[in-house]
Structure 1
Amino acid sequence: MDLEESISNQTDVGLEITKQLLQTEFKDKNMVYSPVSIHIVLSLIAAGKTTSDLDQFLSFLKSKSVDDLNSLAYILVTSILVDASSRGGPCLNFANGLWVDESLPLDHSYEKVLSTSYKAALNHVDFKSNPEGVRTQVNSWINKETNGLIPEILSPHSVTTLTSRIFANALYFKATWDDEYFDASRTRKGEFHLLNGDLVKGVRFMTSRHRHSISAYDGFKVLSLPYKPSRDYKDMRGFYMHLLLPDARDGLPALAERVFRSFEASSVMEKLGLPANAMVMMHEALIEVDENGTTAAAATVAQSYRALAPPPEVKEEDFVADHPFMFLIEEGRGTMLFMGHVLNPLAG
C-alpha cells in the first residue's frame, strides 16, 4: 500500500462528501463533520463484504482493494490518530466498534481483521429481543469514547428487531495552539456579513498580533494555525487548523465549488453512488474553538439490516474572518479529521 496515495484518496472522498453537503443539507447553516470517521466506518463495512457491491464500496472509497483499506485503518488507529497528551501533544481518541446479532456468526477471517487492523470492540448482542438495550449500549460506548460530547447519536426506536449489525466510530480531539496566539483580553466584538448581505452584531473575534502562515490564492486565502506538537522527538506528526476565507463576502458557495470536489449520511452516500438500500448511517460532530485551542468530537454509526490548485503566494497581510468561511483540521500528512463551514457564528 502507498500510504501517501491512500491518504490522498481518503481526502478526496471527504472533499466529495463536503461538496455534496454544502449543496444540500448544509447550504444555509453551519456545518462540521469528520471525513475520517465516515471513511473508517465504510471501510469496516467493506472489509466484511464478499458480494458484488464490494466493487462499489471500493470505487466510492477510491481504493484498489480491501487490503489497502485495512492497511490504512491500521495506520490511522495505531499511528496517526493515537493520543499524545502525555507528551504535551493533542489528546486524541479514535475508536471502532461492531455490534452483531448473536444469530449471525462472523467469518473468522473478518473477526481477525476487526481486531488487528481496526482494533474494533466486538459485541455479540440480541437485536431480536432487546433492540432498545443494544441502542443504549451503543450510545453509552460513543458517549464514553467522545468524552461525553456525543451522548446519544441513536434516537429511541432507531434500532429495531430487523437490525443485524451496527458499525461505529468515535473520534475525540483536544489540542492547544502551538503558541499563545490569542489573548482573551484582545478578543473584541464586531460585525459579521452573512451571505444574503445582512449583518449580525456582537460576534466575538479572536485577535492575534503574531506572524502567521497565510497563503494567498486567486480569490481566497488560507490561514494555517498549528497545534502544540508532542515533545517526543520520535513523533513526527503535526496537526493544523486551516481557515479558508474567500475574498468576496458572498464568495463561499463559489469557493466550495472550486476547492471541494447531525445529518443522515447514508442519503449523501447514495447520491454519490454508494448502495445504501440496506444501510442507514448517522453522523454527528461538534467543534469548539477559543483562545486556547480546539475541542472537537465526531461519531459515525451505520446499521445494516437483514435482507430487506496552483502553488500559493506567501506574503504578509491581514486575515479578518468577518464573512462566511470554511475550516478543516488535518494531520500534516493529509488525514482530514474535521471539515466544515461557518455561515453565521451566532447560530451555533
Structure 2
Amino acid sequence: MAGTLLSIAQQTRFALCLAAAFSSPALPASNTTNAVFSPLSLHVALSLLAAGSGGATRDQLLAALAAGAHGPDAADSLHALADQVARNVMADGSEAGGPRIAFADAVLADASWKLNPAFQELAVGKYKAHTHSVDFQKKAAEVAAQVNTWVEEVTSGTIKELLPPGSVDESTRLVLGNALYFKGAWTNKFDASETRDGEFHLLNGTSVGAPFMSSRDDQYMASYGDLKVLRLPYEQGGDKRQFSMYILLPEAQDGLWSLAEKLSSEPEFLDRHIPTRKIPVGQIKVPKFKISFGFEASELLKGHLWKLTRKEPRLQQHLL
C-alpha cells in the first residue's frame, strides 16, 4: 500500500510539472487558447513504454515517472499503480449511480516486430492493454482508422480522430494508445434558469462575453491569500470513490503563470489547499465552457523528461 501511495504522489508531481509546461507563457499557444489534457493517460502510456524499454531509456523514463527512483522497485511500483488505476480508480461506476468512466490502453506493433512475451504479459495483466499486430508498412491508413474507431467507441463519440491523416505511415512501428472517458453529474447542480451572460477576463488583459452558471448554496470553498479554491463533488451513488472538479482562481488577473510554477515546484501545495468543508459563500459564478484541444506530445514530453532528469532523453524502444 505504501508503494502505491508513493506512486500516486509521483504521478501527481509528473502531472503538475506537465501542466506547468502547458501553461508556460513561453509557449505562444498558451496565451491564445485553452488546453485540456490527461496526465493520467500520458503517465500510464510512458509507464508502459518504460516496461518495454532497457538501458538509458528505461532509466530516464523511471527517473521522470518515479521522481528520481530507478531499478526494479521503481518499475514494480509503477506497474502496481497502473493495475490499481485500471481495476479500481478508473472502473465504471455508472451502475452504482456514480460517474460513467471508460479507460482503455492499446499496443499496436507492426507485424515486422515481435513483441517480447514478458512485455505482452505485463501489458495485458497489469495495464489491461489490448495488444495487436498490425501492418503499418502497407495499411497505415487502415490501422489509423481502426484506432480512431476504437477511441471513438471508448469515449462515447467524444474523440473522433485521435490519429489525423498522415500521423502514421509506412515508417511507423509502434503506437501506444490510451483513451479516457468521464461523465459525471455534480452533487449540487446549477439551476439552468439562473444562467446569465457575464464578462470573462483573458490573460492578455481583454475580456469576452460568456454564459455563467450561478448558485447561492453553501460550497466547498476556501481562500488562501491570493488564491481561491472551489471543489465541486460529483454524485457517488453507491460508489465508494469520490470524484470532484477543482477550480483554482488566482486573485491576480495574470496570476496563472505563478500558480502553475508553484504547483509544479511544490507538489504538496495542492494537498494543502483543498477545501474540506462547506461554507456560506454568497453567490458564486462559474462560466460554462467547452474545450477541444490537440497537441503533438513528443517534443513536449522530451522537454519535460529533460527537466525532470537533467539528461537528454533517448526514446528508442526495446520491446522486441
TM-score tier after normalising by the smaller chain length: 0.7 to 0.9
- One of 291, 298, 304 as aligned partner of 1:266: 298
Shift of 1:56: 0.1
- One of 64, 68, 72 as aligned partner of 2:77: 68
> Identity of paired residues, percent?
38
2:205 maps to 1:197: yes
Q: 1:28 to 1:169 in 2, by over 3 A?
A: same
C-alpha contact 1:164 1:305 (8 A) present in aligned 2: no
Partner SS, residue 104 of structure 2: strand
Aligned to 1:47: 51
2:249 maps to 1:217: no
Q: 1:56 to 1:276 in 2, by over 3 A?
A: closer
2:113 maps to 1:104: yes
Q: May I ask how many residue pairs the two structures share in their alignment?
A: 277
Counterpart amino acid of residue 252 in structure 1: L
Shift of 1:44: 1.2
Aligned to 1:246: 250
C-alpha contact 1:188 1:206 (8 A) present in aligned 2: yes
2:228 maps to 1:227: no
Partner SS, residue 204 of structure 2: coil
Structure-2 separation of matches of 1:138 and 1:238: 31
Structure-2 separation of matches of 1:119 and 1:151: 22
Identify the structure with the greater strand proportion.
1
Cα deviation, 1:213-255, whole Å, max 9, x if unaligned, reads 1111121110001000131xxx431000000011122322222
Aligned to 1:291: none
Counterpart amino acid of residue 256 in structure 1: A
Q: 1:4 to 1:278 in 2, by over 3 A?
A: closer
C-alpha contact 1:165 1:305 (8 A) present in aligned 2: no
Shift of 1:112: 0.8
C-alpha contact 2:221 2:229 (8 A) present in aligned 1: yes
Partner SS, residue 206 of structure 1: strand
Counterpart amino acid of residue 37 in structure 2: Y
Cα deviation, 1:55-97, whole Å, max 9, x if unaligned, reads 0000111254221111110000000110000110000000000
Superposition map of 1:76-87 within 5 A:
76-87=85-96
Shift of 1:52: 2.2
Superposition map of 1:98-247 within 5 A:
98-180=107-189, 182-201=190-209, 203-231=210-238, 235-247=239-251
Partner SS, residue 36 of structure 2: strand
Counterpart amino acid of residue 179 in structure 2: A
Counterpart amino acid of residue 296 in structure 2: E
Partner SS, residue 88 of structure 2: helix
Question: Which ranges in structure 2 are unaligned for 5 or more consecutive residues?
Answer: 266-293, 307-311
Identify the structure with the greater helix proportion.
2
Q: 1:11 to 1:48 in 2, by over 3 A?
A: same
Aligned to 1:21: 22
Structure-2 separation of matches of 1:117 and 1:273: 24
Structure-2 separation of matches of 1:278 and 1:128: 21
C-alpha contact 2:52 2:318 (8 A) present in aligned 1: no
Shift of 1:134: 1.1
C-alpha contact 2:31 2:203 (8 A) present in aligned 1: no
Cα deviation, 1:267-303, whole Å, max 9, x if unaligned, reads 1111123566657xxxxxxxxxxxxxxxxxxxxxxxx
Q: 1:251 to 1:70 in 2, by over 3 A?
A: same
Structure-2 separation of matches of 1:42 and 1:273: 11
Partner SS, residue 207 of structure 1: strand
C-alpha contact 2:109 2:133 (8 A) present in aligned 1: yes
Cα deviation, 1:154-174, whole Å, max 9, x if unaligned, reads 111221222111100000000
Cα deviation, 1:132-156, whole Å, max 9, x if unaligned, reads 1111111111111111111112111
Question: Which ranges in structure 1 are unaligned for 5 or more consecutive residues?
Answer: 280-303, 307-348
Counterpart amino acid of residue 92 in structure 1: I
Could you say what the CA RMSD is over the residues aligned between the two structures, in angstroms? 1.9
C-alpha contact 2:57 2:314 (8 A) present in aligned 1: no
Structure-2 separation of matches of 1:27 and 1:39: 25
C-alpha contact 1:278 1:305 (8 A) present in aligned 2: no
Structure-2 separation of matches of 1:227 and 1:170: 21
C-alpha contact 1:131 1:159 (8 A) present in aligned 2: yes
